[in-house]
Homo-oligomer: A and B are copies of this chain.
């Protein structure tokens, strides 16, 4: 954790585009949060045309859902989501009304990473 799930219509992101976007998101997240790069996971889930809808009409909707530990400030999260929007829109070329981005949180005690129950963001900083 963090775990990024990026959902786009098949064909919107080529293999090369996925690799580039994953690299950019990972670098951004690691710098922004101070967590090691190998904690950052990105999975792309493509859907076929006819399986995405906006306003009830077929649309190449692009969604990025990020799962992080709880404990970060509101500013941290709104700042991150704005940076992610730029990366996702730049990679997909999607219109503003075709993009959704949200950050989900789970308490560190109910998540595991690297074989261990996760420390809280504060404990982690103290430990470094």
User: Which A positions have Cβ atoms within 8 angstroms of B?
Assistant: 1, 3, 5, 7, 15, 18-19, 22-23, 25-27, 36-47, 50-59, 61, 63, 65, 67, 74, 77-78, 80-82, 85, 89, 96-107, 109-115, 117
- Whether B43 lies near A56 (C-beta < 8 A) is no
Q: How many copies of this chain sit in the oligomeric assembly? A: 3
- Whether B56 lies near A52 (C-beta < 8 A) is no
When chains A and B are docked, how far (Å) is the Cα of A58 from the Cα of B63?
Answer: 20
Distance in Å from the Cβ of A117 to the closest Cβ of chain B? 5
> Given the complex, which residues of B lie within 8 Å of A7, measured CB to CB?
5, 43, 45
When chains A and B are docked, how far (Å) is the Cα of A80 from the Cα of B52?
Answer: 21
Which 6 residue pairs spanning A and B have beta carbons closest together?
A: A26-B56, A22-B53, A77-B110, A38-B55, A44-B51, A103-B110
